[in-house]
Amino acid sequence: MNGTPLQRRQWLGGAALVLGLGSSAWALGAARPRVIRVVARKFEFVPREIRVRRGETVELQLSAPEVPMGIHVIGLELRADIVPGQVTRLRLTPEQEGRFDFLCDVFCGSGHEDMSGVLVVEGP
Amino acid sequence: MNKDFDRRSFMRLAGLAGVVFASGLGGSARAEEADDFFFVQLSDSHWGFEGEANPDAHGTLSKAVAAVNALPQAPDFIMFTGDLTHTTDDPHERRERMRTFRDLVSPLKAGALRFIPGEHDAALDRGRAFQEFFGPTHYSFDHKGVHFIALDNVSDPGASLGAEQLAWLADDLSRQPAQARIVVFAHRPLFDLAPQWDWATRDGARAVALLQQHENVTVFYGHIHQEHHQMTGAIAHHAATSLIFPLPAPGSQPRRTPLPWDAAQPYRGLGWREVALSRTADQAPVLQQRPVQGGQA
């Protein structure tokens, strides 16, 4: 995919929107989102495959026990840094079914190029 | 191919550069000028890499060095566009690899050797070891009427140039007239070539926006281990082949795994390039791709 700078800005804007809507829904008393913990370690995401349902709000809680990492979900306009000692929370409500690859986009060592996974969005 | 004929053709093409990549810059055929010159781009040697993707990992760089030294005319300078070494977590080993790399390329015959880092060289220590061996990670210089800018989009492991370097770039460009001939070097692409493979610079669009205020800008980069040519507005971006293993075309398969070594065609997809520049402002650089071949070291 050849994203333009404008598309990239739209991705980031989209990510912020998803996060904002998620927080508002929770504040209004909606069901607490399902939490999925993901560990970013050299040089893999655990779990490597994340399965969610379309329309379901989930919160990814990402940690990196060794070195700084990043996650970039291609096609869902989500990216975040994962800093050791902190939990990065990414809330999303995917509206489109499909398989969305994600990768580490913070260089972390000799296996960095192989560090990827897939977010599978299934029908409700 | 006859080397002398090839050389003459290459230098003559310098006067016809607009035909290939000028993209509307209006280049016209002219005779070779006294100040025409060429440089060589080498990239992505990944010294220290071991793997099936290149059974001659210890010999490929030296073959390229020998090939450059065999040119009938030495280039004015040679630019290495990053990933000189393959990454390692061990700071001592990182320096050993840089020391060995430096020793291997020191016999190169050229007016100057210049370097920028790749993420394998610099991202784990923010360029500290690289600077010890090769100097600043971003800089500019002028040569025969062309302004060259070397950018660092790898010392930040998140692949950003950063606000400080962007401010430096803006200041550097402000000293150049709009018509100046500008050549930029970087390791990663400055545009979003394949974000799903991390083939991008997070704030590269800001650099491109600054560069677009000038009329004659060409970018040479590495990182993707293959030739690739793309325009963003009037700016031509040219990716270089590697000296260790080729990678697949952007986004052509799920993972960016190295293309397998082909024993029937060893060194296929590996190489380096010459870039001819004319002092004439309306002529784009002319690129000449050179393969790595066995038996040259």
The answer to whether residue B214 neighbours chain A at the CB level (below 8 Å) is no
Which residues, listed in sequence order, are joined to residue B47 by a DSSP beta bridge?
B85
What's the CATH number where A20 sits?
A: 2.60.40.420
Give A22-31 contacts, CB < 8 A, sequence gap 24+. Answer: A22/A57, A22/A59, A22/A91, A22/A92, A22/A93, A23/A91, A25/A57, A30/A57, A31/A57
Rounded Cα–Cα distance for residues A34 and A52 (Å): 9
CB within 8 Å: B87 and A1: no
Per CB-CB distance under 8 Å, the chain A contacts of B87 are: 107, 109-110, 112
> What per-residue string of b and e applies to B135-154 under the rule 16 or more CB within 10 Å gives b?
eebbbbeebeebbbbbbbbb
Token pair for B268: 């296929």
CA pair distance B238, B227, nearest whole angstrom: 7
Supply the range of the domain harboring residue A78: 5-122
Identity (one letter) of the amino acid at A68? P
DSSP state of B120: H
ipTM: 0.84
pLDDT in tens, chain B (297 residues): 344 445 555 555 444 333 333 332 323 233 334 479 999 999 999 999 999 999 999 999 999 999 999 999 999 999 999 999 999 999 999 999 999 999 999 999 999 999 999 999 999 999 999 999 999 999 999 999 999 999 999 999 999 999 999 999 999 999 999 999 999 999 999 999 999 899 999 999 999 999 999 999 999 999 999 999 999 999 999 999 999 999 999 999 888 899 999 999 999 999 999 999 986 767 889 999 999 988 644
Which structural domains are found in chain B, ordered by start? 39-46+66-98+125-247 (3.60.21.10)
CB-based contact, A103 to chain B, within 8 Å: yes
Is B11:B280 a contact under the CB 8 Å cutoff? no
Total domain count, chain A:
1
Contact A109 B124 (CB under 8 A): yes
Phi-psi region of A85 (alpha: psi -120 to 50; beta: other; left: phi over 0): left
Q: Could you give the CA distance from residue A121 to residue A95 in angstroms, rounded to a whole number? A: 8
